[in-house]
Amino acid sequence: MLIRRRKTVAEAVVTTPAVAFGKVVMTVQDQTTVGAAELDVLAARLSEGALTTDPDVIEAHARDEALFCPHEGAIALVRATSATDVQEVMRFASEHGVPVVPQGARSGISGGANGSPGAILLNVSRMRDVISVNEAERLVTVQPGIINQDLKDHLAPFGLSYPPDPGSVGLSSIGGNIATNAGGLCCVKYGVTRDYVRSLTVVLADGTLTKLGPQTAKGVAGLDMRHLFVGSEGTLGIVVEATLRLIPKLPDPFTAVATFPDERSGLQTVADFMAAGGVPSLLEFLDSSSLKMLNEFGDFGLDDDAGSMLIMQVDQNPADSQVIMAQFAEVAEACGALDVAYSDDPTDSAALIAARRMIQPAYEKFANAHGGGQLLDDVCLPRVAMPEFCDRLKELQESSGLMIALVAHAGDGNTHPSVFFDANDAEQTAQAQEIFGEIMRIGLELGGTITGEHGVGYLKRDWLNGELDEGSRRIQIAVKNALDPQGLLNPGKMLSAI
């Protein structure tokens, strides 16, 4: 087997475990190096062509979609095609003290998949098979690299659904969804990724393959490691197979759209509707800036004179759905809605949701016309706190002069404010980063969390201390160090700054 080598290949830095007390162990650079010879040995143990040290290829795989996160210094990229490849990489890594960055589709926006000094990028995108569909037990077993939407498409002929639908549904992989416990638009009724993980096969830091969780609907034999791995951002081990719980095919939803004179009345409607027992299958909020940017991006015909819009879906039977939509309309009107419209035409619903799903490209178009910078935040709040939160964003926008647009999976209180800035203007860039942090601070002040579904990664690691109390930080570090005593797995991410 041939491995391409170039003179420019950086000699890898072998790392040794740091002695840490009360901090996450992280691999520390040493004088020793892992060079081409050692990587040759690893390559020979892997599927043919899995390992490359081509710096251009490494650079092309060294980052996800996050801004302001370092990604330099990786020494190799392994594109694993089997669990055995993953095991071999971790055996090599633990033997030589080499850090490993697990990667999937790299569609994340917290830098969780970014390279780090001396690391092997371990990409599982090529492991994308559906291994089995078990209709009787309503389970599917997949490799981690499968794209969420591809899984959904695969399941449709079986009359089965895998609900979690992050905004990145067409781009992001199930492994990455598990790593961040991804959510999406459906969560208000159907929950998040964790709620659908039945069992995981993972490779541990030392290369051991283990199965976590039973195949059965219930099971309490020992500590629940499977759910600990969900949302662990590649810091505890690497998922090489996942068995996911499915539900019968989701019915076509009914859709209501309400427009409001301002943001506050739209968000108050959400809080009041949910407090009154509303059970939507989707409840999305768009502020006036987001509506304008969407209309500038595509021919969506949204009412961009409105101060905000809610899209509400309900997927019960027609009679119950009508009742819920009427209840929604009543609450919206009491909160000052300009207009409430229903549709039971699946085409209308699909068009509206397609428009909502275009928000990120629309933001990008706006950003590109204004200097290219966009920082997308992910603060989840108590629903009742959303109107106040929105007021605070407006104050920030006024005081900074930077545009802040807001969309939200509002039924869950999960807001996504975006700060736009001129990326070529250092002062504005620094200001945007400050606002990004200030948004999280406000979120915490209002009883929220710094991240509802995007994860901590590198981007938010410095804010974790503001959310977790001392005891919580301490046991998280203890668990991380217990499972990864050499600090090999995704160093510098998530818990590394607490």
Where are any strands of DSSP class E within 246-394?
A: 247-248, 254-260, 282-287, 308-314, 339-343, 372-376, 379-380
Q: Are 105 and 176 in contact (CB under 8 A)?
A: yes
The minimum distance between CB 149 and a second copy, in angstroms, equals 21
The minimum distance between CB 159 and a second copy, in angstroms, equals 6
> Residues 280, 286, 287, CA angle at the centre, nearest 5°?
140
Which listed range, 61-69, 258-266, 389-397, 408-416, lies at the site for a second copy (CB under 8 A)?
Answer: 408-416
Q: Counting contacts by CB under 8 A, is residue 414 touching a second copy?
A: yes
- Cα(36)–Cα(434) distance, integer angstroms: 42
- Between the alpha carbon of residue 49 and those of residues 58, 98, 119, 128, the distances in Å are 14, 20, 18, 17
Distance of CA 150 to the CA centre of its chain: 17
Report the residue count for the chain. Answer: 498
# chain residues binding a second copy, by CB under 8 A: 90
Q: Are 215 and 111 in contact (CB under 8 A)?
A: no
Where are any strands of DSSP class E within 70-188?
A: 76-79, 100-103, 120-123, 130-134, 139-142, 160-161
Q: Quick one: 397 or 496, whose CB is closer to a second copy?
A: 496
Contact flags string 269-288 toward a second copy, x per CB under 8 A? --x--xx-x-x---------
Q: Counting contacts by CB under 8 A, is residue 22 touching a second copy?
A: no
Which position has the token pair 């639908």?
165
The minimum distance between CB 225 and a second copy, in angstroms, equals 6
Q: Quick one: 386 or 402, whose CB is closer to a second copy?
A: 386
Which listed range, 123-131, 267-275, 296-304, 396-404, lies at the site for a second copy (CB under 8 A)?
Answer: 267-275
The minimum distance between CB 72 and a second copy, in angstroms, equals 26
The minimum distance between CB 247 and a second copy, in angstroms, equals 8
Q: Are 114 and 101 in contact (CB under 8 A)?
A: yes
Residue ranges in 216-245 that form contacts with a second copy under rule CB under 8 A: 216-225, 227-228, 230-232, 235-236
Q: Counting contacts by CB under 8 A, is residue 480 touching a second copy?
A: yes
When binding is defined by CB under 8 A, the residue of 133, 449, 462, 497 that contacts a second copy is 449
The 3-state DSSP class for residue 15 equals: strand
Q: Counting contacts by CB under 8 A, is residue 424 touching a second copy?
A: no
Q: Quick one: 125 or 199, whose CB is closer to a second copy?
A: 199
Least Cα distance to 3 among 76, 97, 100 occurs for 76
Q: Counting contacts by CB under 8 A, is residue 19 touching a second copy?
A: no
Q: Are 315 and 286 in contact (CB under 8 A)?
A: no
Residue ranges in 161-190 that form contacts with a second copy under rule CB under 8 A: 180-181, 183, 187-188
In the DSSP assignment, the letter for residue 418 is: E
Q: Work out the angle between the directed axes of helices 36-45 and 83-96 (0-180°, nearest 10).
A: 150
Q: Counting contacts by CB under 8 A, is residue 454 touching a second copy?
A: yes
When binding is defined by CB under 8 A, the residue of 452, 487, 491, 492 that contacts a second copy is 452
Q: Are 458 and 466 in contact (CB under 8 A)?
A: no
Residue ranges in 289-348 that form contacts with a second copy under rule CB under 8 A: 316-317, 319-320
Q: Counting contacts by CB under 8 A, is residue 136 touching a second copy?
A: yes
Which listed range, 47-55, 66-74, 213-221, 398-406, lies at the site for a second copy (CB under 8 A)?
Answer: 213-221
